[in-house]
Amino acid sequence: MNSDNAWWRGSVTYQIYPRSFMDSDGDGVGDLNGIASRLDHVASLGVDAIWLSPVFMSPMADMGYDVSDYTAIDPSFGTMADFDALVARAHELGLKVIIDQVLSHSSDQHPFFTESRTSRDNDKADWYVWADPKPDGTAPNNWLAIFGGTAWEWDASRRQYYFHNFLKEQPDWNFHNPDVQDYLLDCMRFWLDRGVDGFRLDTANFYFHDKLLRDNPANPQPWAQDAIRPFEMQYTLFSKNQPENIAFLERMRALLDEYDARTMVGEIGDGHHSIELMGEYTSGKRLHMAYSFEMLGPDFSPEHFRSRIENFFEGAPNGWPCWAFSNHDMERHVGRWSAHGTDQDALAKQAAALLFGFEGSICMYQGEELGQIDTVLTFDELTDPEGINFWPEKKGRDGCRTPMVWDADAPNGGFSVANKTWLPVKQPQQDRAVSAQGKNSVLEFYRDMLALRQSEDDLKTGKTGFLDLPDPVLGFTRGDGFVCVYNLSPKPVNVTLPESAEICLVQKAKLTGKKLELGGNGFIVAKRKPRVTQKP
């Protein structure tokens, strides 16, 4: 194992959604032993770490992001012994293990919430966010929940409302109470002592709320009033992103600094100033990395990618980003950007070359190395509350969460022997199983591109210099050694580079001197030729 305390800088992490990775016991749901049995595949990609979405005790109202016991494994995934064995196997293969920490809220089945709601004067009475109704009985303010409706739920026992940013089954902790902070830090220490290498912090900018419970103003963005989710119509000035967050991040960092070679990556979800928050949260002794949603949307243009990277490093020269194109909450990028591709494979390979060329750390999502797109599901097949609440205008997150496919000829793609899996495996996904990925496949390209990135310091941590090339071409140098150029369109283009280079990886491109011909979704990742200095 790499014991370097800065191993995370420039690293590549593979996100595993445990319910959908591999089912070892035939119940149709993925589990820890299943993950352990497939880690050879992950290690063969050349990544540095795995990130496990939650495997803690949970009623599964939000598929594990509603935790009822932070230091126990949910039986649907296995046992604590299974978890320890998974960590040991990952470490044998040279993989770090990062686990999700869902700290902004718990399940309403957490014993502390069960106690908190019984009265206004019990030991846990102020561990969650409670507030009196207005005189007319309505909620304390106008805050909205992400999954729809008000962010306040009435509790008859206390004759008060409690606050929840997500489902009513996910009450928010009261971080203004130092005992809450201490408890959650102790839960993190439990996992550090078990040997995990770091944490992915869910909704890391949601921890604190405004003590005065002031109303959020309207979202000034022009698109907001046409949003499907009412939550997006508000500028969440007071319900999240509070300045007190910083001190708690510093407390978490101090905890991790007691251990060798550990890391934290915080999910920063904000539609207003996420790049600025990423910089603020990773400056100094706070988060090591900030996970960005900035590249998880529909934008696929040179200006967008360039501005995100430039803005981050200009605003936070001492901070560090973590970029991703797909995850368990968003439509897979190959489908999301299909209008910009010549075909599914070409776009998938270009996206890999692009993402792994970026300065920062990288997170990839299971199945993207196969070039997968979302599974098309019917309403009766959904499990995700977001999809159920907003169907059909917003189909939710189940489409990107369907099981990993290992064997094109096996039932359920080799994921499970069950008659029915928790989400279905359909033919378009099965056709892209690991077993079907042969020569010149998306999987082979992922391995090649990752091998190149891992072997070259310039591609891992070298500074970025953007080239002034015409749209739709994006080009940049990395350190002194590399130049990367991408045609982000399905139509061919020709450009002239400022210097000649030697190609390392290529798709639909021809380089003659400084003249570069790029087919649709063509790109080059090339070594810059040393400049010859003429003697006087």
The DSSP bridge partners found for residue 153 are 162
The tokens 């935790």 sit on which residue? 67
Taken in order 101, 104, 106, 112, the sign of the CA dihedral is: positive
Q: 62 and 385 in contact (C-beta within 8 Å)?
A: yes
Single-letter amino acid, residue 535: K
Closest CA to 328 of 200, 445, 440, 442: 200
The reply to whether 186 belongs to the active site is no
Report the length, in residues, of the chain: 536
Among 258, 380, 393, 468, the one annotated catalytic:
258
Q: CA 11, CA 356: separation in Å to the nearest integer?
A: 10
What gap in Å lies between CA 327 and CA 219, rounded to an integer? 26
Q: Between β-strands 160-163 and 152-155, what pairing exists: parallel, antiparallel or unpaired? A: antiparallel
Give the other-Cβ count within 10 Å of 224's Cβ: 15
Q: Tokens in use for 242?
A: 């509070």
Spatial contact of 56 and 72, defined as CB atoms under 8 Å apart: yes
Alpha helices in 316-402 (DSSP H): 333-336, 344-355, 385-390
**Spatial separation of the C-alpha atoms in residues 136 and 269, rounded to whole Å:** 34
| First-to-last C-alpha distance (Å) of the chain | 50
Residue among 66, 108, 172, 202 flagged as catalytic:
202
For residue 232, indicate whether it is catalytic: no
d(CA 499, CA 527): 11
Residue 476 exposed, middle or buried by CB count within 10 Å (0-12, 13-18, 19+): buried
Rounded to whole angstroms, the Cα distance separating 110 from 15 reads 26
The answer to whether 467 and 475 are in contact (CB under 8 A) is yes
Nearest to 142 by CA among 151, 133, 154: 151
Distance CA 505, CA 526 (A): 7
| Positions marked catalytic | 202, 258
